Amino acid sequence: MLEIALGTPPADIAGIVYRLGSDVVKTPLRAHEKNLDSIPFPAWQLLDLKKYPPLDSGVENGVDLAREPRVSVIFSRGCSGHCDFCSTWWIWRGWRCRSAVNMADELELLYRDFGIRHFSFADDSMTVNRERVISLCDEIISRGMRIAFHVTTRTDCVDAEMLAKMKAAGCYNISFGIETASPRLLTRLGKENTVEASERAIALCRQAGIRATALLIAGSVGETWETIRETVAFLRKTRPDRVGCVGGLWVLPGTKLYRDCVSRGLINEDFWLTDEPYMTYTAEHSLKELMRMRDRVSNYDSTLYKIVARIKRTLRWPA
């Protein structure tokens, strides 16, 4: 962006795509910045931070989550996973992290100069490096910041010691990308994780006093009503504090799933000339069916659902 702003000729800027007459020119890939601490903080003074919505409820670490604006910050980029449907690891090519001191410096700036008490870490997988996370929590505690924050990560990247430290620093909720509780589908999605790890992560959060949110996909490649029932059973057993479920798998460019869909003739490059931001994978189930699957997972514990399901079983209707 700086090179563009300085007027550097496009051909000399690595990592961009531009139009030259009727041609589309792509320059060589740009080397990633390894030292994230070298990147300046955002110009927070240009934003009205009070306009950030609070987006939660309850009081944590003395912070009223329903009243305090929740400001997004980011500690790391990328992910240690390689899920077939995900563009994160592919775009960021691995996982990189700021130093604990640099991250704490930005939090402290927002805390002291702008009065921000409520944060959301926008990382896709915030806890890949446990020592770095523990150091960040130590920095938050030793600097006397009473804050509350939310993070997102993988279920195989948490442990009891780290969660206890996170809780002490103000972590009140962790969103886990669980996707499904079917071992077969986890393998099919390239998730490189297990149902047992997800069960353990939710239990450890409960012990630590941190809320756990299960992020799920209903309608993955290979999904059936049987695998939906596996996910419902998992939710009933583990009882996360919240469930966030999307109906249908989003086919994002650059992913293995996208390439598979191209090779199967389900999508072609012209899709990106439309106004649609992504394709939903409907090769196996209609959109309507995907919404039913989503509703089934989202309402895994609703009494109404149980009653309807019982009636359907009695009348021998499909699930």
Which residues here bind ligand SF4, judged by CB under 6 A? 79, 81-83, 86, 88-89, 124-125, 154, 177
CA neighbor of 81 nearest in space, from 124, 134, 121: 124
Shorter beta-carbon distance to ligand SF4: residue 216 or 232: 216
The 10 Å Cβ neighbour count of residue 122 is 14
Shorter beta-carbon distance to ligand SF4: residue 189 or 297: 189
Query: Residue 11 Cβ, how far from ligand SF4 at the closest point, in Å?
Result: 33
**For 41, how many CA atoms within 13 A lie in the half-sphere containing its CB?**
17
- What gap in Å lies between CA 172 and CA 110, rounded to an integer? 19
Shorter beta-carbon distance to ligand SF4: residue 157 or 169: 157
Shorter beta-carbon distance to ligand SF4: residue 154 or 165: 154
Shorter beta-carbon distance to ligand SF4: residue 68 or 123: 123
Shorter beta-carbon distance to ligand SF4: residue 67 or 82: 82
In the chain the beta strands, taken as DSSP E runs, fall at: 17-20, 23-26, 59-60, 63-64, 70-73, 76-78, 95-97, 118-121, 148-153, 171-179, 211-218, 242-247, 250-251, 279-280
- What gap in Å lies between CA 254 and CA 140, rounded to an integer? 37
- What gap in Å lies between CA 301 and CA 1, rounded to an integer? 48
String of b and e for 87-117 (b: at least 16 CB within 10 Å)? Answer: bbbbeeeebbbbbbebbbbbbbebbeeeebb
- What gap in Å lies between CA 140 and CA 108, rounded to an integer? 8
**Sequence letter at residue 186:** L
Shorter beta-carbon distance to ligand SF4: residue 186 or 208: 186
**Sequence letter at residue 162:** M
- What gap in Å lies between CA 56 and CA 68, rounded to an integer? 9
Shorter beta-carbon distance to ligand SF4: residue 65 or 218: 218
- What gap in Å lies between CA 300 and CA 38, rounded to an integer? 46
Query: Residue 317 Cβ, how far from ligand SF4 at the closest point, in Å?
Result: 34
The answer to whether the beta carbons of residues 152 and 86 sit under 8 Å apart is no
C-alpha distance from residue 71 to each of 47, 49, 99, 121, 229 (Å): 11, 7, 20, 8, 37
Query: Residue 200 Cβ, how far from ligand SF4 at the closest point, in Å?
Result: 16
